[in-house]
Structure 1
Amino acid sequence: MTRTRTPRTRPVLPVTSALLLFTVTLLSACSSSADIEAEERAESSNAGSAQPLSVDTSPEQADRVSSDEDPDAAALVPGAIAADGRLTVGVVGTGEPPLGFLADDNSTVVGSEVDIASLVADSLGLELDLRNISWEQWPLSVQSGDVEAVFSNVGVNAERLQLFDFATYRQGIMAFTAQSGSDLEIAEAADIAGLTLAVGSGTNQERILLDWNADNEAAGLEPATLDYYANAADALLAIRSGRVDAYLGPNPNAVYQESKGQVAIVGTVNAGWPNTTYVAATTLKGNGLVEAVQAGLQHVFDDGSYTATLERWGLTDEAVDEPVVNPQVAS
């Protein structure tokens, strides 16, 4: 049984010196980009405990955690997939750290999702054949056979379960981020009453906030004002300028940004609120690969490489106890 964790509000990350340069520029009270960059450099040099995660961003990924082959898991790989000795995996590689992003060569996809896929390939005795795909592409890529699995922060839901099989490996968590030093604490609907919150249109985060607003209005509380942004970079600028009180976005990105001292995480909520949603390896429905992926994941759970990989990226709060095939979800 996968456990549900209590959302955290103010995590403290064990971090070291930075190798990873994040490209989002944060807005200050200054008006020019040069002033903003100067302020960022000053903040970076003066940062105390909020230092960046120490991550190898080279294409070689010398510090990537590895595993070994599990013969029992490898025996479960369907013959048509095992024939070429490769596991072809799609990852959205043009996003923000730490999930999937481009390495220093601006070509190789690296990140936490790549690392989990690499562990599964190791445990199945297959070579990882990584394909950089867009988020919009992943369903058709699996259905057409262009990729055999997707590891890219895909959440399990009822609609997707009709077409795909899933093997879980993380909780799906969203985080509220605010200015560093903020005294906000957001754990439930009442905590957002009267706030101005940045969110992306049409996202699961928006759905949660709209539901919370409805609950607040029913309770006689002032609803939050939702301010819509096309991307996380613009939302971060809005936080820093004081145009919004907080932003609700993916927890992995927030953890990385907080480690750099750019924001403070002031609350978390499961992406499936009021239920629990999981992030999972995604395969074509009924082709038999998901059982092999689950067994491969169980092997890396057991040998510690799964935990070590989450620690590498600061994502231990999203860990699950065991991989589950096609978990029950609310319709």
Structure 2
Amino acid sequence: MFTPHNRRRAALGVASAAMLTLSLAACGEKESTDQPGAGPSVTAAADSALAAKVPDAIKADGVIKVGTDSTYAPAEFLEADGKTVTGFDVELFNAVAQKLGLKAEYESAPFDAILPGVDSGKYEIGVSSFTINAERLKSVNMVSYFSAGTQWATKKGNPAGVDLENACGKKIAVQTGTVQVDDITARSKKCTDAGKPAVKIDQYQAQSDATAAVVSGKDDAMLADSPVGAYAVKQSNGQLELVGDIYESAPYGYAVKKDQQAFAEVLKEAVQAVITDGTYKAALQKWGVEGGAVTTAELNPSV
């Protein structure tokens, strides 16, 4: 069974990149080459030994079909054409696929539809900032490749006076189907248990909409994955700021079917190979998210 809280998503989405860029366009700031993600794509050389280990059913057409929720900048989001998926998750997995002699082909989908799609065979892998946790490991194999926590963001200056430890009565935005929903729901219960007003939780299907709600003032704050929140703040032209520290860090993982153990094993080797050859570091640095780098890829790590 796939439960929605299996993914730790956080702050800005892709549509966000597009949508937030539109909402902030009045500031007149232009995209520049020093922005996260600017510059040529990072690529990796194929490893014939690893490519030989890829199951025939997957490598037969030379393509690996990827399910992703492209509303989660800077991890995975849509370029200005509204079709091309980009982001650090995408660039990094492209390199992993290249190491295996494959080309990644992305299909955008609602977050909560991706793992069922992997299980049914619609997708050969899920790449969408999935947090590895015990519940998910019951249903899929997961290969770790990054680490992220949760962080909050508010309007610049925190005009609503949001306190992470006492958000009672505040309007808080989160993306549906994320661990942040569980987080803020638990905080709201503490409020009501103490006789204080509940947190008004606004859930959005796309993280971009949650971010836009804070920018517009509809909501007082949002909580999301640390790299996503930081990217949202950077892209806001001074309209947003981070509040509090990053907490509850956990690994992201690629998800493949539970019965595809051999593929999961070679996938782990491919991730380790891009870490070793420096491609991994280059991809993360390009997007400004090297703070979440890991040194070792693991298959179904204990969490």
TM-score by length of 1: 0.72
Flag the structure with higher strand content. Answer: 2
Residue 140 of structure 1: CA displacement? Answer: 2.9
1:174-216 C-alpha deviation (Å, 9 max, x unpaired): 2201122449999x96364675533346642131123345557
Q: Do 2:192 and 2:198's aligned partners in 1 also have CA atoms closer than 8 Å? A: no
Q: Are 1:78 and 2:82 an aligned pair? A: no
Q: Which amino acid aligns with 1:111?
A: G
C-alpha spacing 1:87/1:154, structure 2 compared with 1 (3 Å): same
Q: Which residue of 1 aligns with 2:145?
A: 169
Q: Do 1:177 and 1:247's aligned partners in 2 also have CA atoms closer than 8 Å? A: yes
C-alpha spacing 1:189/1:148, structure 2 compared with 1 (3 Å): same
Q: Which residue of 2 aligns with 1:22?
A: 18
3-state SS of 2:300 partner: coil
2:125 to 149, 156, 165: 149
C-alpha spacing 1:235/1:130, structure 2 compared with 1 (3 Å): closer
3-state SS of 1:22 partner: helix
3-state SS of 1:153 partner: coil
Q: Do 1:89 and 1:117's aligned partners in 2 also have CA atoms closer than 8 Å? A: no
Q: Do 1:170 and 1:320's aligned partners in 2 also have CA atoms closer than 8 Å? A: yes
Residue 236 of structure 1: CA displacement? Answer: 3.8
Q: Which amino acid aligns with 2:202?
A: Y
Q: Which residue of 2 aligns with 1:41?
A: 26
After the TM superposition, which segments of 4 or more aligned residues of structure 1 sit over 6 Å from their partners? 183-186
2:251 to 278, 287, 309: 278
**Alignment map for 1:202-217 (pairs within 5 Å):** 203-214=178-189
3-state SS of 1:279 partner: strand
1:121 to 91, 94, 97: 97
Identity %: 27
Q: Which residue of 2 aligns with 1:291?
A: 265
Q: Which residue of 1 aligns with 2:9?
A: none
Q: Which amino acid aligns with 1:246?
A: A
Q: Which residue of 1 aligns with 2:240?
A: 263
3-state SS of 1:326 partner: coil
3-state SS of 2:119 partner: helix
Structure 1, gaps ≥5 residues long? 1-19, 27-36, 46-50, 57-61
Q: Do 2:173 and 2:203's aligned partners in 1 also have CA atoms closer than 8 Å? A: yes
Q: Which residue of 2 aligns with 1:308?
A: 282
Q: Are 1:178 and 2:154 an aligned pair? A: yes
Structure 2, gaps ≥5 residues long? 1-15
Q: Distance in 1 between matches of 2:103 and 2:143?
A: 19
Q: Are 1:199 and 2:174 an aligned pair? A: yes
3-state SS of 1:24 partner: helix
C-alpha spacing 1:74/1:201, structure 2 compared with 1 (3 Å): closer
Q: Are 1:132 and 2:108 an aligned pair? A: yes
3-state SS of 1:267 partner: strand
Q: Distance in 1 between matches of 2:79 and 2:221?
A: 29
Q: Do 1:153 and 1:280's aligned partners in 2 also have CA atoms closer than 8 Å? A: yes
Aligned residues: 284
Q: Are 1:190 and 2:165 an aligned pair? A: yes
Q: Which residue of 1 aligns with 2:81?
A: 105
Between structure 1 and structure 2, the one with the greater Rg is: 1
